[in-house]
Amino acid sequence: MTRIAVIGGTGYAGSHIVAEAVRRGHTVLSVARTAPSERVEHATYIEATLLDVPTLANELQGVDVVVGTVPARGDMLGLVRPAMAQLNSVLPEDVRIGVIGGAGGSLVAEGGPRLIDTPGFTEEYKPEAQEAIGILEDLQADESGRDWFYVHPAGGFGVWNPGERTGTYRDGGDVLVTDADGESYISGADLAVAVLDEIENPRHHRERFTVGY
């Protein structure tokens, strides 16, 4: 089985990815600044921060895949992008990196604008979205040859709208996934299904993709 480390493993996206990875029998390391009181059985929890990359990299020795789920908001705004770039620079080249970004960098249609550039995008979310896009741009510019994938969740993805695990989702490539009514949504559990599917059967090498229903 694959050895997977989830940075931000106690957050909304991270905790679902940890649970799905354990469910599938992988060796899972959940990394967060504080350990949770409720833990996923068979996952290993360590206290570490993305802001101390040398210590974090030492904790990640031996892993096959590192998934970053830390959002650039609150006290982390402006700090996630440089920390992820530093982590990318020190991890062994055979470690695959996955990043859970935001919906803002998704295209609204083939060849169309990004969601963040449309009039309806909420101003207060722009700094977080721009930093998430910056992480993607850094990965795209990386010339090390490291394999990576970057996931844009649906627009309605979040702790305020948890939903349930259906085991299904759609992959929209670069385009935001919407349903017949124009709504864009995916549950935390099904985002995790998409992430673990990509880890187990890689289809997106050094590229991004969108997920939703």
What was the pLDDT predicted at 35? 86
pTM score > 0.95 for this model? yes
pLDDT of residue 190: 98
3-class secondary-structure state, position 153: coil
How many folded domains does the chain comprise?
1
Q: Give the pLDDT of residue 70.
A: 98
| Each residue's pLDDT tens digit, 176-210 | 999 999 999 999 999 999 999 999 999 999 999 99
Integer Cα distance of 207 and 30 in angstroms: 24
| Backbone φ, ψ for residue 171 (5° rounding) | -100, 120
Which residue reads 């979205």 in tokens? 129
User: DSSP characters for 64-103?
Assistant: SEEEE---S-GGGTTTHHHHHHHHHHHS-TTSEEEEE--G
Low-confidence ranges of the chain (pLDDT < 50): none
* 3-class DSSP state of 10: coil
Q: What is the CATH number of the domain that holds 182?
A: 3.40.50.720
Q: What is the pLDDT of residues 65-77, one digit of tens each?
A: 999 999 999 999 9
Residue 179's domain spans which residues? 3-212
